[in-house]
Amino acid sequence: MVSHVEDYPTDTLAGLQANTVADGVFHVAAWLLVMAGTTLTVLSWRERRVAPNWSFHFGLLVMGWGIFNVIEGLIDHQILQIHHVRDDLGAPLSWDIGFLIFSVLLVVVGWLLYKRGARQLESQSITRDPSVGNR
C-alpha cells in the first residue's frame, strides 16, 4: 500500500487515487494467484492425481478469501490504520465493520462448502474402498 507516505497523503485526491490503484493492483495479483492455483488443480484433476469435488475446492477458496480479508481488515484497517475500506469518509468505521462481517460470512460459507465436499469425498472413498468389508 502507498497510504500514509509523504508522496501520497491520504487526505488528498491524488493520494487517494494512488492508494486505490495500488490496492487494485494488489487484488488483481492476488486473484491471478488464485486463478493459477485453480488452473493447476484442474490440470491435476484431469491427470487423476487428485480428485476433490467442486464443493471441497471452492469451499477452501472462499474460506481462504474470507480469512485473508479478516486478517487484512483487522490488521490494516483497525490495528495499523494503514487504510480503510472508504478513506474518503470522515468516519469509515461502518464500512470497515461491514467488510469484516462480509469476510466472516465468506469464512462460514466456505467452511460449510468445504465440509459438504469433505463428507462427499469421505463417503465416496468408503464405497470405493474394497477393504471396507474386511474391517
pLDDT in tens, 19-70: 778 778 888 888 888 888 888 877 877 777 666 788 988 898 899 999 989 9
* 96 falls within a domain: yes
Whether pTM exceeds 0.75: no
* 84 falls within a domain: yes
Number of domains the chain contains: 1
Please give the pLDDT value at position 133.
Answer: 46
* 35 falls within a domain: yes
C-alpha cell at 58: 471452492
As a whole number, the mean pLDDT across the chain is 81
